[in-house]
Amino acid sequence: MGSGNARLMKKHDFPGRLIVVEGIDGSGKSTQLKLLYRHLATLDYTVFLSEWNSSPLVKSTTSLGKKKKLLTPTSFSLIHATDFADRFVNHIEPLLKAGVIVLADRYAFTAFARDAARGVDRDWVRNIYEFACLPDAAFYFKVPLAVSVDRILTGRQKLKYYEAGMDVGLSSNPVESFKLFQKRILEEYDLMTGEFGFTVMDGSLPIEEQQERMRASVHDMLAGFAGLRKGPHQEALR
């Protein structure tokens, strides 16, 4: 591994807290993060939700590239890195400095997994994200590939070109390509679990049970946390 990712391997010293969720498509991570967001908000914490690929800075470029199928694995990687950098520098980091709890629906690890699955060098990708800090908690929602594929394909008329990993050339059949692409991403996440200390969550469990376990872990992590509150009182986490 290259030396450029040294900061990503270290805890930040900001007064806020950074909690991220990761997992392949259909793992249920977004649902769990939104439930956690509502829960923390009821405890009067100031919480901010940041979503992957949501920066207006590169939105039009990304849309055009996808529409015309012009994005190579490297250009796709750089566009996502630009999106992440814009959100991190202008939103995530300043809010952490202000004592806010930031919840990220996908973090740099998504790039590590997806870009590597597209054949981009792992060290090269990590070096691009050298400015990012290690989250206080990273939940990896792991589900069997068959479960993920079934969730995504249910009610979906067709898969999008890049979503299915058609640009990688794994298969001419979108569904088969999606399965093979997600399998690669799943393998990358498994490799990163020990490297970055992911908290592995069983994404096949009932939604309520997953949320209960996630909240318990977050409550432990926030013990003694004196972050920014919306209300005048300091309600204790139980």
How many Cβ atoms are within 10 Å of 108's Cβ, its own excluded? 27
Q: Look at residue 6 in the predicted model and tell me its pLDDT.
A: 54
Give CA 238 to chain center in angstroms. Answer: 27
Q: Look at residue 59 in the predicted model and tell me its pLDDT.
A: 82
Which tokens hold the place of 37? 């967001």
Per-residue pLDDT tens listing for the chain (238 residues): 444 455 576 789 999 999 999 999 999 999 999 999 999 999 999 999 999 988 888 888 888 888 888 889 999 899 999 999 999 999 999 999 999 999 999 999 999 999 999 999 999 999 999 999 999 999 999 999 999 889 888 867 788 899 999 999 999 999 999 999 999 999 999 999 999 999 999 999 999 999 999 999 999 999 988 777 764 333 333 2
As a whole number of angstroms, the distance between CA 107 and CA 191 comes to 16
CATH class for the domain made up of 7-221: alpha beta
Q: Look at residue 166 in the predicted model and tell me its pLDDT.
A: 93
The amino acid occupying position 110 is T
Question: What are the residue ranges spanned by the domains of the chain?
Answer: 7-221
Please classify residue 99 by burial: count the beta carbons closer than 10 Å to its beta carbon, then call 0-12 exposed, 13-18 middle and 19+ buried: middle
Cα pseudo-dihedral 156, 200, 197, 221, rounded to 10: 110
| CA angle (142 as vertex; 138, 143 as ends), nearest 5 | 160
Which tokens hold the place of 49? 């939700």
